[in-house]
Amino acid sequence: MNAHHPAPRLVVLDMAGTTVHDGGLVERAFRAAAAELGVSEGSAEHTRMLDHVRATMGESKISVFRHLFGEEDRAQQANRAFEAAYHDLIEEGHCTPLPGAADAIGRLRTAGLKVVLTTGFSRATQDRILDALGWRDIADLTLCPADAGRGRPYPDMVLTALLRTGTEDVREIAVAGDTGYDMLSGRRAGAPVVAGVLTGAHDSARLLADGATHVLASVADLPALLLDRS
């Protein structure tokens, strides 16, 4: 690596859609939350809200509900209903590792890189996913928006990962995710490698528009990219 591009030492990975396959659980859980707040499926309002949920995949979920429902009490009610539905779906076995994800994380850590898993969900939901997958010890650190201050598209989780792992330079960070919000957070944090993966919510056009430096078929391709750079 030249002086302008130090070798990566920290890899910040999104979970759902990037390392974890959830089979559309976000949309299914949103439908449960909308129903609890009296938004009828098939209505124009429901369609508008679902479009917003799809467009903002990767953003902190409470931020999404604040935008949709306005009042804090209603946003919190929707968030609780969403999380309850999501937890039930996790327990039904709908949450699985994406092919090659665990191996990719293992290869990166074996090579001496720190790996941090991030999410737009709450800590309770993140922990449910980690427990369901047996992934409590798979990464060096796991972070949710509440751990960092703000969720995506802000850079807070990436920068918190840098601080908590003792990484010296933002130029030593690589970020990977399946949404435009992942790309924005990585670029805003100053990471020179911001890789979009095509296993989740957004297509290559959206990933590139929001700042992806690379687009990969899946996170399984990430070790080759990063370790070659090293």
CATH code for the domain defined by 10-22+96-229: 3.40.50.1000
The pLDDT assigned to 2 comes to 45
Report pLDDT digits (tens) over 63-79. 888 988 888 998 889 88
The pLDDT assigned to 79 comes to 87
Q: Name the phi and psi angles at 196, rounded to 5.
A: -90, 140
Domain spanning 25-91: which CATH class is it, in words?
A: mainly alpha
Counting residues of the chain whose pLDDT is more than 70, the rounded percentage is 97
Q: Do domains 10-22+96-229 and 25-91 have the same CATH topology?
A: no
Cα distances (Å, whole numbers) of residue 139 to 43, 70, 115? 42, 36, 5
CA separation for the pair 74, 76 (Å, rounded): 5
Q: What pTM value is reported for the model?
A: 0.87
Mean pLDDT of the 154-176 span:
96
Q: Where are the domains of the chain?
A: 10-22+96-229, 25-91
